[in-house]
Amino acid sequence: KISRWLKKIGDPVKLYEPILEVETDKVTTEVTASGAGTLLKLYFDEGAVVKMGAPIAYIGAVGEAVPVGEATPAQPQQVAQPVAPPVVAQPALQTTPVAPVSRRGNGSSMAARISPVVARIAAEHNVDVSTLTGTGEGGRVTKKDILIFVDGGGSMAVAPMTFTLKVSTPLPSVMPGETIKLNTMRRSIADHMVLSKHTSPHVTTIFEVDLSRVVVHRNANKAAFEHDGANLTFTPYFVQATVTALKANPLVNSSWSEAGIVVHRSINLGVAVSLGEEGLIVPVIKNADSMNLLGLARSINDLADRARHKQLKPDEVQGGTFTITNHGTSGSLFATPIINQPQCGILGVGLIEKRVVVVSQGGVDSIAIKPMCYIGLTFDHRILDGNSADDFVADIKQALENWS
């Protein structure tokens, strides 16, 4: 679905510049131009649902003849799966110093195989991505590839980006009695949540965690992480502790099926991000068990930043095997989140706040002020019993309270 045009007919367009936003049932993402010139024609209006592969716009030279496009939108009921970002047809242009690129034919051009964030970096540093060797799937140039090139002298280094995990915007102004139209994401969330509650019996167990050692470690390492281009929040600590617990309790990293319980080999952790009135999105850190704390911080920074700028791709919100939601960012102490089907469970992290607690040492009780928070696991009772669920959360608590 074409949700919004960022350019209008007659506007100049730079190579890799975002020209529209497309919407699937899970993400809204920008589509960038694979050539430079002038936007001569829009084949579809905002709100149209378009067949994948159909021309939706034409970029060329002023005065150039514009071909007739396929101006018949697909019927919404024909789109059973999330729609991939549509193609943008344009001629091979000679108006820029970079090699001409095209999205025609089999769609295998370099512009078809780079993400919006890579396109933005390439545009900022005048990098011709067609000259780079990509390490991604199918030779795709990744963010890491282009940053290595830039840092190596291709251009000036890109400044590291910071983020807050809760990416929110003000709620829309509504009037009593008004009916608010559902967007695709809100309807998808509603359907998924109702399905989840009807699918699995939800049970929640809650533990209290002392984060004293985590706070000390974070304060001691924030500057070093920032030097390495990562904003060290508390989220990577919870992610790494969860990975440790999932490895010790593999049954939690599973899904229910009628054939039996499917225990996943990979640990792909989803981290919920609020988009305010637009809804909630869950980017997935693939193979989170292969990353150290710095790698997790970088990945979380990147996913959250691109969620905020609507630059996530459909495959980056799929394939999760377990989910973490940080509801404490809004002041919530504990919650009972709904399972992200078909996963076994979801971990909720509450507000981190200093509280007075009783500390026992050497048989002597004393009062201390500690940074405390509640963590809660909502789990599928078909897969886990109370004891196995508690063992999992206890392992997370152990990892956080004994951080080193």
Please identify which residue in the block is written with the tokens 């579809």: 44
Nearest CA-CA partner of 393 in 351, 356, 345: 345
Q: How far apart are CA 122 and CA 36, in angstroms?
A: 13
Residue 11 falls in the annotated catalytic set: no
Q: Are 303 and 251 in contact (CB under 8 A)?
A: no
Q: How far apart are CA 98 and CA 34, in angstroms?
A: 11
pLDDT of residue 189: 80
Which listed residue (380, 385, 390, 395) is catalytic?
A: 385
pLDDT of residue 176: 85
Nearest CA-CA partner of 291 in 230, 346, 355, 249: 230
Provide the 10 A C-beta neighbour count for residue 361: 8
Residue 322 is given by DSSP the state: E
pLDDT of residue 227: 92
pLDDT of residue 122: 75
How far out from the chain centre does Cα 193 lie?
19
Strand partners, 263: 254
Which listed residue (381, 390, 391, 395) is catalytic?
A: 381
Question: Which runs of consecutive H residues, i.e. helices, occur in 278-374?
Answer: 293-308
Exposure letters 368-400 (e unless 16+ CB within 10 A, then b): eebbbbbbbbbbbeebbeeeebebbbebbbebb
E-state strands within 72-214: 202-210
Residue 145 falls in the annotated catalytic set: no
* Tokens at 208, concatenated: 């209290």
Please identify which residue in the block is written with the tokens 């549509």: 86
Classify burial at 13, counting beta carbons within 10 Å of its beta carbon; exposed 0-12, middle 13-18, buried 19 or more: buried
**Confidence (pTM):** 0.63
Q: How far apart are CA 116 and CA 111, in angstroms?
A: 10
Q: Are 134 and 142 in contact (CB under 8 A)?
A: yes
Strand partners, 59: 39
pLDDT of residue 158: 33
pLDDT, averaged in runs of 10, over the chain (404 residues): 91 89 77 88 91 88 80 42 36 32 37 63 73 70 75 45 38 73 79 87 96 97 93 96 97 93 95 79 94 95 87 88 93 92 95 94 92 97 96 98 94
